[in-house]
């Protein structure tokens, strides 16, 4: 089964994990996010008119704090997080009455220096095409993905405001190399639904480019659970120095400090044998701190 199919199948079965006793209140749903570069983040929430609700925010998907406590004046409420400029990534949930939202919503903003960067889209979203995700990039931007089945690197370029392959998809678990043709540091934002529950992705032998399905930073094995075996090598791109750093794994340990993967960052892996990357994200529905 292809990675895209795996992601879609997981997503269809992971909704509503927060639901407690439903009463007569439907589960809220968040959508239509927009991030001002290094500024506020806003989204819409379908809650229900005259329903009491709280919006909770988190930066690690563990600790939540209440940022709004109110009564919805209409069916749909728009929330603007004016503190978003303080965070490169943040996540949100809603509780209406005693019912938690069907989805956990969020954003991540990464800064692209001049030249190349390895990136990942950590969210489920209907807007997952290159033409939609990278619409605001300048002419001359290039995106390269690696097909581990055909061993072909795909090329996609933005010319005169149009991508050469605008319908190409970029989904969680994949990786890509993006080229910023300007001399400026440019922000790139992703937004959408956080995958939660238990899921797994097959990792083939040989070269492939991957990213975590869980939008958290951390050590690749100790924190993110990547399956390493003796002889495997991780190639992590240093975007500031514009060069790759290699991390070799032998005798069940790293030959140097372990690689640390950031949110919305991808990496190359050269595996001696195929494996399965199993991850689990349980989002607790405990009351948030005020």
Residue 271 pairs in a beta bridge with 206
DSSP structural state of residue 130: H
Determine contact, residues 80/66, Cβ cutoff 8 Å: no
Core vs surface per residue 266-278: b (16+ CB within 10 A) or e: bbbbebeeebebe
The CA–CA distances, whole Å, from 287 to 18, 57, 106, 283 equal 12, 12, 19, 12
Q: Is 244 helix (H, G, I), strand (E, B) or coil?
A: strand
Lowest model confidence (mean pLDDT) among 19-23, 40-44, 85-89, 239-243:
19-23
Average pLDDT over residues 158-179: 96
Q: Which two tokens stand for residue 46?
A: 């379908």
Separation CA 269–CA 234 (nearest Å): 5
Average pLDDT over residues 182-197: 95
The CA–CA distances, whole Å, from 155 to 59, 98, 129, 168, 243 equal 34, 48, 14, 10, 20
Question: pLDDT for 245-267, tens place per residue?
Answer: 999 999 889 999 999 999 999 99
| pLDDT reported for residue 284 | 67
Question: For the domain with range 17-102, which CATH number is right: 3.40.1280.10, 3.40.50.720, 2.60.40.10, 3.90.420.10?
Answer: 2.60.40.10
In 3D, which of 238, 239, 113, 81 has the Cα closest to residue 188?
Answer: 113
Lowest model confidence (mean pLDDT) among 17-31, 45-59, 132-146, 222-236:
17-31
Share of the chain above pLDDT 70, in %: 90
The CA–CA distances, whole Å, from 146 to 20, 114, 130, 179 equal 42, 22, 15, 15
| pLDDT reported for residue 290 | 67
Task: Give the confidence band of 10 by pLDDT, cuts at 50, 70, 90.
Answer: very low
| pLDDT reported for residue 98 | 87
Task: Give the confidence band of 16 by pLDDT, cuts at 50, 70, 90.
Answer: very low
Structural domain boundaries in the chain: 1-13+109-284, 17-102
Residue 91 has pLDDT above 50, yes or no: yes
Q: Is 68 exposed, middle or buried (0-12, 13-18, 19+ CB in 10 A)?
A: middle
Share of the chain above pLDDT 90, in %: 81
Task: Give the confidence band of 4 by pLDDT, cuts at 50, 70, 90.
Answer: very low
Determine contact, residues 281/212, Cβ cutoff 8 Å: no
Separation CA 255–CA 288 (nearest Å): 41
Count of beta carbons in the 10 Å neighbourhood of residue 185: 10
| pLDDT reported for residue 97 | 85
| pLDDT reported for residue 150 | 85
Average pLDDT over residues 119-148: 95
Instruction: Indicate if the alpha-carbon torsion angle 85, 86, 91, 95 is positive or negative.
Output: negative
In 3D, which of 283, 258, 114 has the Cα closest to residue 193?
Answer: 283
């Amino acid at each position: 089964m292809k990675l895209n199919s795996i992601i879609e199948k997981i997503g269809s079965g992971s909704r509503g994990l927060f639901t407690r006793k439903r009463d007569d209140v439907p589960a809220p749903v968040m959508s239509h996010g927009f991030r001002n570069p290094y500024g506020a983040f806003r989204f819409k929430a379908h809650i229900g008119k005259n329903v009491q609700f709280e919006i909770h925010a988190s930066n690690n998907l563990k600790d939540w704090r209440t940022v709004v406590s109110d009564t919805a004046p209409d069916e749909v409420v728009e929330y603007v997080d004016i503190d978003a400029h303080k965070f490169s990534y943040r996540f949100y949930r809603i509780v209406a009455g005693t019912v938690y939202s069907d989805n956990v919503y969020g954003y991540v903003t990464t800064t692209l220096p001049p030249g190349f960067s390895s990136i990942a889209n950590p969210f489920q979203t209907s807007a997952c095409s290159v033409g939609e995700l990278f619409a605001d990039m300048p002419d001359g931007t290039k995106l390269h993905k690696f097909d581990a089945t055909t061993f072909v690197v795909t090329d996609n370029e933005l010319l005169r405001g149009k991508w050469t392959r605008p319908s190409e998809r970029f989904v969680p678990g994949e990786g890509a190399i993006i080229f910023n043709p300007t001399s400026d540091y440019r922000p790139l934002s992703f937004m959408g639904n956080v995958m939660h529950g238990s899921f797994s992705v097959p990792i083939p032998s040989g070269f492939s480019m991957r990213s975590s399905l869980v939008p958290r930073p951390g050590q690749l094995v100790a924190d993110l659970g990547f399956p390493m075996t003796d002889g495997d090598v991780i190639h992590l791109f240093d975007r500031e120095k514009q060069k790759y750093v290699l991390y070799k794994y032998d005798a069940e340990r790293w030959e140097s400090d372990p690689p640390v993967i950031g949110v919305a960052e991808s990496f190359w892996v050269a595996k001696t044998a195929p494996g399965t990357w199993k991850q689990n994200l349980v989002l607790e529905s405990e009351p948030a701190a005020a």
